Amino acid sequence: MTEPPTGSPADSPTDSWPKIRARRTLPVSRWMQIVEREVEFAPGAPTETYHAIGQGDYVAILALTPERRIPLVRQYRPACEAFTLELPAGMVEAGEDPAAACRRELLEETGLTARRITPLAANHPCTARLSNRIHSFFVDAGGPSAGFRPEPGIALELVTEGELAQTIRAGRLDLHLHLGTVYLAVLRGLLDPAIVARP
């Protein structure tokens, strides 16, 4: 599908460069599409072609239970062809508020309720290849929801802050983006700074 030319990515005035001269999208699945952009970097310059993956925003959740345990989820990731250890996370559904997605994903993956949700940041996970954003949240979690059944293929681990630090230092928190969420929580004073300090 070809879309009409637009201005710069930030929709700035027409005398600004770069300009997006053409944009085409190729749907791959309900989760993603390939986006091709023809970019003119200066007046009269030949356009250059860039490809990116278009997909919805997603959330990453660093939760802390009343017992000061942090939930991690272990699951099989076909893209890596391996089991990974990550923070609870998931896609924001169309029209859904990211904080509502945070509450929903935490419940679906861990069975924990959210007593208080603190937004940490919304950042681009990869400015070169991905056009979505990752919304990082810190959650004061409540107890498990009655009748919770984990999603198929997901195993829950509850770790202390010290165990999370060991996991990170051992290279076993597999998703690099989630390290940023941990760091944001430390910067806000919500977690022990020793998690990211030198051993």
pLDDT per position as a tens digit, 150-195:
778 889 999 999 999 999 999 999 999 999 999 999 999 999 888 8
Cβ atoms 182, 62 nearer than 8 A = yes
Q: Are 33 and 55 in contact (CB under 8 A)?
A: yes
**∠ CA 61-62-63 to the nearest 5 degrees?**
105
Number of Cβ within 10 Å of residue 155's Cβ equals: 12
The mean pLDDT of 120-137, rounded to a whole number, is 95
pLDDT tens-digit readout, 5-38: 444 444 444 568 999 999 999 999 988 999 999 9
Per-residue confidence band for 98, with pLDDT thresholds at 50, 70 and 90: very high
The superfamily in CATH containing domain 58-195 is Nucleoside Triphosphate Pyrophosphohydrolase (3.90.79.10)
Q: Answer yes or no: is pLDDT of 86 > 90.
A: yes
Per-domain residue ranges of the chain? 2-54, 58-195
State residue 70's pLDDT score. Answer: 97
Task: Give the C-alpha separation, 102 to 121, whole Å.
Answer: 13
Q: What is the pLDDT of residues 106-119, one digit of tens each?
A: 999 999 999 999 99
Mean pLDDT of the chain: 90
